Amino acid sequence: MDVNALKQERAKLAKQARDILDTAQAASRSITGEEEAEFDRLMEQADKLETTIAREEKARELEKRIAGDNPPKNEPNGPGTGSEDERRMRAWRTYCRDGRAGLTEEHARALNMGTDPEGGYLVPPVQWVTEMLQAVDDDVPLRALATVMALTEGEGLGVPTLDTDLADADWTTELATGSLDDALRFGGRELSPNPVAKQVKISRTLLRRSNHNPEQIVRDRMAYKFSVTQEKAFMTGDGNKKPLGLFTASTQGISTARDVQTGSATDVTADGLIDAKYTLKPQYWARARWLWHRDAIRRIRKLKDLNGVYIWQAGLASDRPDSILDVPYVVSEWVPNTFTTGLYVGMIADFSFYWIVDALDMEVQRLVELYATANQVGFIGRLETDGMPVLEEAFVRIKTN
């Protein structure tokens, strides 16, 4: 599949859609019903191409990783050869396929990282865990924009805050010291990673006969489940044993003081978007992004500003993303999308001020006997994470009137 050709085709569709909008604008009129149907058709095709491109690029990346996990047959491949990571990867594949009974003594030593008083478990190789977490990053848009840190010491991460700043300096004389100010106050916030877990069951026959690496099957399914859970919490979590979400009004995160109304009880308006953008200080614009559900994007693509210019702009060049009022946007399925009175529907922000903290340790346990009667093998994945906005000034939340 020629990815470059697909990208060129997407740009062509975006250009055709833009021409429809420009034609109506030049005639100082709204688009007709026929033009609107053609516009929607072109954008639907462009969105499908975008999905195809993303899938192809992801598949190619996966093929590269798999090729790296399977060296040529003429290379040493015994359980005691190769680097430590290579030996652990081979041992983990054997464990996924055949269980503990299939492990040689060398395999067991490569995987055994500790003893559990309840009966013991094996820990997957570091390389396997790292790849799984990367898959989560790919599926959760906010992670790519947020500040993500690993917790290396203690049970939580303290975030210092400047709660009360000093007053401005005084114009004075050479020997004077200015007015005394004791208003400076410091505070703090704490992020404490919370447990997240998911269980997957797979047919033993599939594990034994599949042409794919068995750990790849486990990784893909778990990556999806973990990504969905985190994405929902990053958007709407209440902060109780889970992350504090962007669309949860809280004095610990983003208060209602950062809310801007859309200008309508049932829709997004151009005036509302302009108000939202310019509520955010210009110092944040360089890294700012809009955050919407795709239902909101569908509405915004048809909006004009006060001068009759369509505010949505297609990114026709490869280095220029689609933008709204010159600000790029990202889309998440878990952004609120109910357009009724008083509800949140979107946001503009510098999302680097949303902090995510991950605990280092991740466990993957294999349940051999629990599902034996059904000829299945269970895998349980566990990690710990937390997240919250740490500076509300960097966020502007958009709600209906």
Residue 293 sits in a domain of what CATH number? 3.30.2400.10
Q: Say whether pTM exceeds 0.85.
A: no
Q: Which of 45-49, 122-126, 189-193 has the lowest mean pLDDT?
A: 122-126
Report yes or no on 115 lying in a domain. no
Task: Assess if residue 93 is contained within a domain.
Answer: no
Whether 128 shows a pLDDT value over 70: the answer reads no
pLDDT at residue 337 tops 90: yes
* 126-140, 307-321, 327-341: segment of lowest average pLDDT: 126-140
Do the domain assignments include residue 289? yes
Rounded Cα–Cα distance for residues 339 and 299 (Å):
11
* Interstrand relation of 363-367 and 185-191 (parallel, antiparallel or unpaired): unpaired
Sequence-distant (6+) residues with CB within 8 A of 223 are: 132, 135, 136, 139
**Residue 40's pLDDT is what?**
83
Q: What is the mean pLDDT of the chain?
A: 79
How many structural domains compose the chain?
1
Question: Which residue type is seen at 154?
Answer: G
Q: Tell whether 358 is covered by a domain.
A: yes
Residue 58 counted as domain residue: no
- The structure tokens listed for 81 are 């050869």
> Has residue 24 been placed in a domain?
no
* 54 in any annotated domain: no
Does the pLDDT at position 314 exceed 50?
yes
- Within a domain: 343: yes
CA distances from 24 to 30, 161, 275, 298 (A): 6, 50, 25, 18
| Residues in contact with 31: Cβ distance below 8 Å, sequence separation at least 6, in sequence order | 20, 21, 24, 39, 302
Residue 315, pLDDT score? 53
Q: Tell me which residue range forms the domain holding 311.
A: 124-164+183-401
